[in-house]
């Protein structure tokens, strides 16, 4: 193209380029704004997004009520200042007291800033080489405050809190303790006993049943409709009512203000009964010593958190909410689905 | 009856198609990328027609919009990525290709084509960085390896480096020259992010101090400035320690004053900055020509391919912003600056929505680094601060620079993809709880 | 995390703020200094543009075409050698030897850079050659010629370097900006290029020299503004005021005894103003000087004027005392001194000097018309009135009697500034004044480098300019 004409065309084109540039900048800006709005909306839809659990305040302070629940993100700081992820305003808590991080498979790692004092389940923080981990139900003591962690389902951690030495980022592989020959023998003996007792009980039941049947055969009675007994409404208590009537002993997790920190039970393997030796220690084994006011029958299920809560159960502060755990395959499929539909989709 | 129902069906289908069309048109990614593609298509076509018609121009007119399309709309099919960030980075890269190609005409150089090649390599580098952030989880040992490797790479130019524009920061390996300090930027961000998120002070401090020292020895002041400011700002963000940050600022100013007193070339730079016109014949030539170029462009520019950009020394790296301003005008230049601002805003947005402070600090560091580098070079070109020889991110000619900038974008993208995964997971959990019973299977 | 993210916001604001400042600075500096950068004689872009565009005409205020382009694309100035030489510093020459002459400073008009795209397409379709816009300037070609002749014909100024600025103090139109020596723009010889008198130097706007006693106008304004008894205060002039073991002397070692401000102004008594400067203090004097445009960055639309300076560093009493008399690193250009007396004449309002009266495209579209603008308010009308009276007595019965013109009231102030040239002490002769007459609202300043005293060398030149204006200016 001759220079003359090219010059005219280029000079005309500069307005076109400027227009396109302005359009590009404007559209980018609009896109940016739109995405921010959507992100805000999405966060509103998902109030618990990004949290691994909750801290329940067992013992608060001036600005922190007892019984308050603080959501725990997977990383963050704890301190008295409002800008902390966990704002714990109690005597002895520094502005920035400690930081924590969720390590997959090992629980919530806790480390203080500087020389602040931190205690998890009776163990003091000593050095970085020996980090403190909190598991489901662990108690954290900072200053005058006492907090209990309850983790959401899906964020598995091994057992209760305890000190674990080791390198981070490589999941600790704790072998269950292998029984020695003596223990093995004792166990087998115990098993035999159990089996015999079971057999005995079955025989007893069978005999009882047989006798009853025989008795019924001897004196047959007409079948009558029996009015079911009205439900005893006084049996159903709310938690508060139960406490008021002294039916609940919540000393275990809620200490009245002013009372001193209770002596924690020393964690020991119950050697009296050999059976648990074979398995990793049960999640709440230590609590068995404390008095709990719930049904003996439901205890196990309650701890696993699988069953639906009954009205007459006392909600425990550290009990996890209903399971929201989704299997990996399902999550992967779900991810793609949502990605496609709601988040702009790679497929489109 | 059947006729009517068929008609109704057809109408419904038409309506559905219209709705889909509307949706697609409203899709911001499509709207933005189509405008970008139109821009580059017309621009390269125009340059191809200047003087003797060149087939390369037509090839670029097809290839560059295609590249933008592939990189922004097609790549994210394979992993969740932030399309806006991708679009802006690609736009800026392509702008560099365009400006370099337009200055090639009549000069006998082929920087435009080379830059297009580097652009492709840059996209690959970005993908690599995304993979690194996305799939490497166990950093503890690896980080030490990265640190050692980066330190070794940093020292390399002192041993076998070649001097270029007064700074010994290039090494030549097998015919290709490489600027290690650009690549180490990515390692620096990984190291800062990792150790700052673990609240460990000494590892990153020693590494940053070491690299600053090496950069000083190489007399690469511009890069040293970028490293220093990024580190200082991230230190502030991760600890909130204002007194120490203030001390860092004061220390930096003190170092600047000492440098000014000690080094003759720093003194010269400052003198040129204060009045380039009296040093016109010697050292002030570059900045004076830069200012003339910007001013002669005026508001709307002289037109693509016109003007005299080649009279500016190193117009293709340091002063490329002046070339943009001359050819497209000051308003266009301001809009380019606005694109950088949106890039920074987006980077911050991604860093803020990250759940792991390693990722957050890394993404923010990359964002700040790009922003600071942009400011240093644009402020220098506009004679606001003394001109230091750093490149304009994405736009300047140079393989290493482009690759490292795309690497930084890759870090941010990796964080964005991890965020997206986390969010999707959460979203699906709560959705499966809420909607399991409400939605039919087909619609899920 | 929360804290981290809150601080991220600070970081972002910081970085974006930096980029915003850079953008704002760029827009500001391009809009304020852009045409200065572009019109630099070193800009190769205009030189290459001249190959394809024929630059437009320049017309003076009387309609005389002072510069045009002939059929061969050569730049042609007036046919009379003296006429075209006298305008050379104002217009500049084709080689770009003069910094910021109209030819280069308004090149975007003259070379058609402001031509719109439609105009260009029209011209291209009609097959016309590209032609730049024509410019009308406020200067008077005849006045320039006259001034050069006055300089050449007066024995005291013959062969000397100097500068003259004439402007309308009510509107700010610049009538003449002459710098001597002049040369012929169409015949630039090696002798001119190698001359020790630096003929390419546009003295009227580029050379900042100590204003000497003419600065006493500003000292007097400062006294009236800062000293309650300024008009009645009695100074004792012994002819040698001791300041810091050094002595302030008067020109010719005069002794004036006990005098008041009016007499001191009339006789231009250094001792009196030195004492006054010490009495007021440096900051008061500097503030008044800055009100009159000293230390300001002159960004006039049509003219590039070197900044005048009133020193701010290394001040001691001796320096301050000499500043009161316009010495000691105080420096101003002839055009600025002209603006100072114009401000006094215009009741304290300083007008922005303008040179461009109209820009017209070849097709007749007027792109720009003259518009006047006040540059700054230098002092109050009352103060201006008093100084006006003082300046009139200077011409009536003081040092400037040789500027007297029959039939007009002239106000003025002479100055004999001590400077150095080639290592020798020299005395620059200054005169700045104006005609106090609504028919002839003109202010004049004259500089004769190394000329001698202002009263005997510069004032007669000013007198002849006033006479010329009286005889010819009624037609404007």
Considering only CA atoms, which of A311, A133, A293 is closest in space to residue A233?
Answer: A311
Reported as a single tens digit per residue, the pLDDT across C114-170 is 888 888 888 888 877 788 899 999 999 999 999 999 999 988 888 889 999 999 999
Record the tokens describing residue A300, joined without a space.
């196990």
Q: Which chain C residues are closer than 8 Å to B365 by Cβ?
A: none
pLDDT for the residue numbered A266: 52
Q: What are the chain A neighbours of C3 within 8 Å (beta carbons)? A: 77, 83-85, 96
Q: Do A326 and B353 make contact, defined as CB atoms within 8 angstroms?
A: no
Q: Is the pLDDT of residue B149 over 90?
A: yes
| Confidence (pLDDT) at A158 | 52
Compute the mean pLDDT over every residue in chain B, rounded to the nearest whole number. Answer: 88
Of B324, B321, B251, B73, the closest CA to residue A346 belongs to B73
Kindly list the distances between the CA atom of residue A17 and the CA atoms of B241, B343, B386, C173, in Å, as whole numbers in the listed order: 46, 21, 31, 41
The β-bridge partners of A103 are A107
- If one counts the domains in chain B, the total is 1
Does the pLDDT of residue A56 top 60, yes or no?
Answer: yes
Nearest to C3 among A8, A12, A83 (CB): A83
pLDDT confidence bin for A161, thresholds 50/70/90: very low
Q: A303: pLDDT confidence band, cut at 50, 70 and 90?
A: very low
Q: Which residue has the tokens 């006789």?
A: C267
Residue B61 pLDDT greater than 90, yes or no: yes
Q: Which residues does chain B have within 8 Å of residue C304's beta carbon, measured at their own beta carbons?
A: none
Which chain B residue has the Cα nearest residue A112? B199
Residue range C236-254: mean pLDDT, rounded: 77
User: Phi and psi for B287 in degrees, rounded to 5?
Assistant: -70, -35
Helix orientation angle between B180-197 and B357-381, rounded to the nearest 10 degrees: 140
Question: Mean pLDDT in chain A?
Answer: 70
pLDDT per position as a tens digit, C439-453? 889 999 999 988 888
User: How far is the C-alpha of C51 from the C-alpha of C74, rounded, in Å?
Assistant: 10
Between CA B127 and CA B143 the distance in angstroms is: 20
Confidence of residue A337 (pLDDT cuts 50, 70, 90): low
Determine which helix (DSSP H) or strand (DSSP E) holds C386, and give its type and residue range.
helix C381-397
pLDDT, residue A164, reads 41
> How many other C-beta atoms lie within 10 A of the C-beta of residue C236?
13
pLDDT of the residue at B280: 80
Residue B23 lies in a domain: no
Instruction: Give the confidence band of A238 by pLDDT, cuts at 50, 70, 90.
Output: low
Around Cβ A237, how many Cβ atoms within 10 Å? 16
pLDDT for A169 equals 46
Q: What is the CA radius of gyration of chain B?
A: 24
User: Does A49 lie at the interface with B, CB-CB under 8 angstroms?
Assistant: yes
| DSSP SS3 for A74 | coil
Phi (first) and psi of residue B367, to 5 degrees: -65, -50
Comparing CA positions, the residue from B79, C209, B197 lying closest to residue A335 is B79
Q: Is residue B71 part of a domain?
A: no
What pLDDT is stored for residue A325 in this prediction?
42
For residue B204, pLDDT over 70 is answered with yes
pLDDT at A168: 44
User: Rounded to 5 degrees, what are φ and ψ at C239?
Assistant: 90, -10
Confidence check: pLDDT of B87 > 90:
yes
Instruction: Determine phi and psi for A262, rounding to 5 degrees.
Output: -70, 155
User: C1: distance to nearest CA of chain A, Å?
Assistant: 5
pLDDT bracket for residue A331 (50, 70, 90)? low
- Please state, for a pLDDT cut of 70, what percent of chain A lies above it: 55
Task: Say if residue B178's pLDDT is above 70.
Answer: yes
Backbone angles phi, psi at A321, to 5 degrees: -70, 180
Q: Is the pLDDT of residue A43 over 80?
A: no
User: How far is the CA of C51 from the CAs of B358, C44, C72, C74, in angstroms?
Assistant: 61, 12, 11, 10
The rounded distance, in Å, linking the Cα atoms of A241 and A250 is: 13
pLDDT surpasses 50 at A292: no
- Which residue in the block uniquely carries the two structure tokens 């999405």? A42
Sketch out chain C's domains with CATH numbers. Answer: 212-355+372-475 (3.40.710.10)
Flag whether B202 is in a domain: yes
Asked if pLDDT for residue A165 goes beyond 70, the answer is: no
Residue B25 forms part of a structural domain: no
Q: Check A8 against C117: CB less than 8 A apart.
A: yes
Peptide bond into A220 cis (omega under 30): no
Look at residue B39 and tell me whether its pLDDT is greater than 90.
Answer: yes
Which of A75-84, A239-248, B33-42 has the least mean pLDDT? A239-248
Percentage of chain B modeled with pLDDT above 70: 95
- Domain of residue B100 covers 79-443
Scan for tokens 């080379």, then name that residue.
Answer: B114
3 state SS of A333: helix
pLDDT for res B414: 95
Q: Hey, are the CB atoms on A73 and C1 less than 8 Å from each other?
A: yes
Judge whether C9 is closer than 8 Å to chain B, CB to CB: yes
pLDDT tens by residue, A247-286: 655 544 454 555 555 555 554 444 444 444 343 334 444 4
Handedness of CA C272, C278, C279, C281 (dihedral sign): positive
- Write down all domains in chain A, each with its CATH number in brackets: 51-151 (2.60.200.20)
- Chain B, nearest residue to C116 by Cα: B300
Is 50 exceeded by the pLDDT of residue B143? yes
Q: What is the pLDDT of residue C425?
A: 82
* Residue-wise pLDDT tens digits, A135-148: 888 889 998 899 98
Span C240-266, average pLDDT: 81
Is B276 within the bounds of a domain?
yes
Whole-number pLDDT of residue A310: 45
In a domain, B12, yes or no: no
Mutate which of B292, B381, B387 to test chain C, going by most C C-beta atoms within 10 A? B292
* Chain A residues touching C120 at Cβ < 8 A: 8, 11
Between C189 and A159, residue with greater pLDDT: C189
Q: Reply yes or no on whether the pLDDT at B47 is more than 60.
A: yes
Is residue B24 included in any domain, yes or no? no
Average pLDDT, chain C: 88
C157 within 8 A of C451, measured Cβ to Cβ: yes
The confidence score (pLDDT) of residue A242 equals 65
Which of B171-180, B289-298, C109-118, C237-246 is predicted most confidently? B289-298
Q: How far is residue C97's CA from residue C95's CA, in Å, rounded to a whole number? A: 6
Please tell me the distance in Å from A31's CA to the nearest CA on chain C: 19
Per-residue confidence (pLDDT) for residue C418, from 0 to 100: 84
Q: How confident is the model over C422-449, as a mean pLDDT?
A: 89
What's the pLDDT score for residue C239? 75
Residue A170 has a pLDDT of 46
Q: CB–CB of C8 and B360 under 8 A? A: yes
Q: What is the 3-class SS of chain B, one letter each residue?
A: CHHHHHHHHHHHHHHHHHHHHHHHHHCHHHHHHHHHHHHHHHHHHHHHCCCCCCHHHHHHHHHHHHHHHHHHHHHHHCCCCCHHHHHHHHHHHHHHHHHHHHHHCCCCCCHHHHHHHHHHHHHHHHHHHHHHHHHCCCCHHHHHHHHHHHHHHHHHHHHHCEEECCEEEEEEECCEEECHHHHHHHHHHHHHHHHHHCCCCHHHHHHHHHHHHHHHHCCCHHHHHHHHHHHHHHHHHHHCCHHHHHHHHHHHHHHHHHHHHHCHHHHHHHHHHHCHHHHCCCCCHHHHHHHHHHHHHCCCCCCCCCCCHHHCCCCCCCCHHHHHHHHHCHHHHHHHHHHHHHHHHHHHHHHHCCCCHHHHHHHHHHHHHHHHHHHHHHHHHCCCCCCCCCCCCCCCCCHHHHHHHHHHHHHHHHHHHHHHHHHHHHHHHHHHHHHCCCCCHHHC
Q: Is pLDDT at A313 greater than 50 in this prediction? A: no
pLDDT band at C353 (very low <50, low <70, confident <90, very high): very high
Nearest of C227, C212, C219 to residue C272 by alpha carbon: C219
Q: Which residue of A has its CA nearest to B341?
A: A29
Query: Is the pLDDT score of A195 beyond 80?
Result: yes
Q: Is B72 on the interface with A (CB under 8 A)?
A: no
- Here the contacts of B434-439 (C-beta below 8 Å, separation 24 or greater) are none
Residue C202 has pLDDT above 60, yes or no: yes
pLDDT category of residue B88 using cuts at 50, 70 and 90 = very high
- The answer to whether residue C398 scores a pLDDT higher than 50 is yes
CA–CA separation, B178 and B157 (whole Å): 9
Q: Which two structure tokens, joined as six digits, stand for A10?
A: 């280029």
3-class state of residue C165 by DSSP: strand
Average pLDDT over residues C274-286: 90
Of A11, A12, A76, the CB nearest to C2: A76
pLDDT, greater one: C411 or C104: C411
- Report the pLDDT value the prediction gives residue A157, as an integer from 0 to 100: 56
Q: Which residues pair with B162 in a beta bridge?
A: B170
**How far is it, in rounded angstroms, from Cα C387 to Cα C379?**
10
Q: Using the beta-carbon criterion (under 8 Å), do A75 and C124 form an inter-chain contact?
A: no
- What is the structure's pLDDT at A299? 44
Is residue B31, in this structure, part of any structural domain at all?
Answer: no
DSSP alpha helices (H): ranges in chain A?
3-45, 181-218, 239-244, 299-304, 328-341
The predicted pLDDT at position A294 comes to 45
Higher pLDDT, B150 or C314: B150
All chains having 3 or more CB pairs closer than 8 angstroms to chain B: A, C
What is the Cα–Cα distance from C220 to C340, expressed in whole angstroms? 13
């Amino acid at each position: 193209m001759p220079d003359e004409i090219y010059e005219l065309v280029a000079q005309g084109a500069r307005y076109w380029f400027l227009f396109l540039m302005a359009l590009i900048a404007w559209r980018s800006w609009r896109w940016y704004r739109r995405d921010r709005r959507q992100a805000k909306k999405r966060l509103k839809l998902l109030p618990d997004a990004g949290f691994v659990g909750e801290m329940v305040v067992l013992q608060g302070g001036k600005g922190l009520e007892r019984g308050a629940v603080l959501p725990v993100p997977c990383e963050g700081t704890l301190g008295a200042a409002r800008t902390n992820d966990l704002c714990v305003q109690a005597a002895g808590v520094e502005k920035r007291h400690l930081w924590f991080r969720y390590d997959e498979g090992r629980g919530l790692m806790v480390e203080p800033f500087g020389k602040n004092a931190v205690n998890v389940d009776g163990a003091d923080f000593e050095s970085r080489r020996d980090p403190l981990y909190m598991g489901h139900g662990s108690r954290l003591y900072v200053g005058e405050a006492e907090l209990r962690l309850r983790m959401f389902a899906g964020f598995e951690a091994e057992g209760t809190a305890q000190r674990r030495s080791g390198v981070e980022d490589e999941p600790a592989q704790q072998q269950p303790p292998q029984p020695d020959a003596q223990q093995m023998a004792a166990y087998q003996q115990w098993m035999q006993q159990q089996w015999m007792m079971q057999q005995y009980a079955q025989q007893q039941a069978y005999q009882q049943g047989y006798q009853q049947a025989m008795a019924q055969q001897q004196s047959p009675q007409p079948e009558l409709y029996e009015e079911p007994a009205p439900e005893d409404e006084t049996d159903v208590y709310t938690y508060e009512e139960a406490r008021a009537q002294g039916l609940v002993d919540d000393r275990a997790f809620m200490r009245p203000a002013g009372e001193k920190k209770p002596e924690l039970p020393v964690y020991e393997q119950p050697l009296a009964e050999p059976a648990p030796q074979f398995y990793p220690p049960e999640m709440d084994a230590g609590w068995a010593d404390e008095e709990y006011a719930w049904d003996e029958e439901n205890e196990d299920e309650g701890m696993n958190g699988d069953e639906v809560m009954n009205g007459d159960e006392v909600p425990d502060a550290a009990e996890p909410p209903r399971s929201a755990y989704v299997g990996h395959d399902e999550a992967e499929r779900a991810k793609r689905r949502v990605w496609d539909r709601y988040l702009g989709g790679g497929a489109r | 009856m059947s006729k009517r129902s068929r008609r109704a069906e057809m109408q419904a289908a038409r309506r559905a198609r219209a709705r889909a069309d509307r949706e697609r048109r409203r899709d911001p990614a499509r709207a933005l990328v189509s405008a970008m593609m139109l821009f580059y298509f017309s621009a390269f076509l125009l340059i191809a027609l200047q003087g003797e018609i060149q087939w390369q121009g037509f090839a670029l007119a097809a290839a560059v919009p295609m590249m933008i399309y592939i990189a922004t709309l097609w790549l994210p099919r394979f992993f969740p990525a932030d399309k806006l960030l991708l679009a802006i980075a690609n736009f800026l890269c392509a702008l560099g290709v365009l400006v370099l190609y337009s200055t090639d005409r009549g000069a006998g150089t082929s920087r435009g084509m080379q830059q297009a090649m580097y652009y492709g390599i840059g996209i690959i580098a970005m993908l690599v960085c995304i993979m690194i952030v996305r799939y490497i989880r166990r950093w503890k040992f690896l980080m030490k390896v990265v640190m050692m490797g980066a330190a070794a790479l940093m020292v390399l130019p002192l041993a076998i480096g070649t001097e270029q524009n007064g700074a010994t920061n290039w090494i030549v390996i097998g015919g290709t020259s490489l600027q290690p300090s650009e690549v180490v930027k990515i390692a620096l961000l990984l190291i800062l992010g990792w150790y700052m998120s673990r609240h460990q002070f000494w590892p990153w401090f020693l590494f940053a101090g070491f690299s600053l020292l090496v950069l000083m020895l190489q007399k690469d002041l511009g890069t040293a400035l970028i490293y220093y400011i990024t580190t200082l700002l991230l230190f502030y963000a991760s600890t909130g320690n204002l007194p120490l940050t203030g001390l860092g600022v004061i220390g930096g100013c003190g170092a600047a004053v000492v440098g000014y007193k000690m080094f003759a070339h720093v003194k010269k730079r400052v003198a040129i900055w204060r009045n380039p016109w009296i040093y016109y014949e010697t050292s002030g030539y570059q900045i004076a020509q830069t200012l003339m170029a910007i001013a002669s462009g005026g508001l709307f520019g002289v037109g693509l391919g016109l003007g005299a950009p080649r009279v500016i020394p190193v117009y293709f790296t340091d002063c490329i912003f002046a070339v943009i301003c001359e050819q497209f005008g000051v308003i266009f230049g301001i809009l380019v600056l606005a694109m950088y601002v949106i890039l920074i805003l987006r980077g911050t947005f991604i860093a803020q929505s990250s759940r792991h402070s390693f990722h957050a600090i890394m993404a923010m560091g990359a964002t700040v680094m790009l922003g600071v580098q942009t400011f240093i070079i644009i402020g220098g070109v506009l004679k606001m601060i003394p001109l230091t020889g750093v490149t304009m991110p994405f736009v300047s000619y140079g393989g290493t620079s482009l690759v490292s900038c795309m690497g930084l974008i890759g870090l941010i993208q990796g964080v964005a993809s991890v965020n997206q995964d986390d969010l999707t997971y959460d979203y699906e959990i709560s959705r499966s709880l809420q909607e399991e019973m409400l939605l039919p299977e087909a619609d899920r | 995390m929360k804290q981290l993210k809150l601080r991220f916001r600070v970081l972002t604001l910081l970085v974006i703020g930096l980029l915003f400042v850079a953008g704002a600075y760029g827009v500001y500096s391009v809009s304020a200094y852009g045409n200065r950068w572009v019109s630099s004689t070193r800009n190769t872009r205009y030189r290459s543009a001249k190959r394809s565009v024929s630059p437009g005409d320049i017309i003076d205020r009387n309609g005389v075409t002072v510069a045009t382009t002939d059929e061969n694309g050569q730049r042609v100035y007036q046919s009379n050698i003296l006429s075209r030489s006298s305008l050379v510093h104002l217009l500049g020459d084709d080689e770009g030897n003069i910094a910021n002459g109209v030819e280069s400073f308004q090149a975007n008009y003259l070379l058609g850079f402001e031509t719109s795209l439609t105009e260009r397409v029209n011209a291209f379709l009609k097959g016309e050659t590209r032609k730049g816009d024509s410019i009308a300037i406020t200067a008077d070609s005849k006045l320039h010629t006259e001034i050069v002749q006055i300089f050449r014909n007066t024995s005291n100024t013959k062969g000397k370097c100097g500068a003259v600025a004439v402007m309308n103090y009510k509107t700010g139109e610049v009538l003449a900006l002459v710098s001597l020596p002049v040369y012929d723009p169409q015949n630039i010889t090696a002798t001119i290029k190698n001359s020790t008198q630096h003929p390419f130097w546009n003295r009227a706007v580029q050379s900042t020299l100590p204003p000497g006693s003419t600065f006493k106008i500003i000292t007097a304004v400062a006294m009236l503004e800062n000293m309650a008894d300024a008009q009645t205060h009695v100074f004792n002039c012994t002819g040698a005021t001791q300041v810091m073991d050094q002595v302030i002397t008067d020109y010719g070692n005069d002794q004036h005894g006990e005098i008041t401000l009016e007499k001191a102004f009339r006789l231009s008594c250094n001792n009196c103003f030195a004492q006054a400067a010490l009495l007021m203090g440096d900051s008061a004097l500097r503030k008044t000087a800055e009100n009159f445009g000293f230390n300001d960055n002159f960004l006039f639309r049509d003219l590039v004027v070197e900044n005048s300076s009133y020193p701010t560093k290394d001040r001691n009493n001796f320096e301050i005392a000499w500043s009161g008399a316009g010495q000691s690193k105080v420096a101003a250009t002839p055009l600025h001194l002209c603006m100072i007396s114009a401000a006094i004449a215009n009741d304290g309002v300083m007008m922005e000097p303008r040179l461009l009266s109209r820009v017209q495209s070849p097709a007749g579209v007027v792109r720009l018309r003259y518009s006047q603008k006040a540059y700054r308010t230098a002092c109050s009308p009352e103060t201006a009135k008093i100084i006006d009276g003082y300046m009139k007595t200077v011409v009536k019965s003081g040092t400037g009697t040789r500027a007297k013109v029959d039939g007009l009231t002239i106000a003025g102030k002479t100055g004999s500034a001590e400077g150095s040239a080639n290592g020798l002490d020299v005395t620059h002769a200054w005169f700045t004044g104006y005609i106090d007459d609504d028919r002839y609202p003109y202010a004049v300043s004259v500089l004769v480098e190394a000329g001698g005293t202002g009263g005997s060398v510069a004032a007669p030149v000013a007198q002849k300019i006033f006479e010329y204006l009286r005889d010819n200016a009624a037609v404007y």
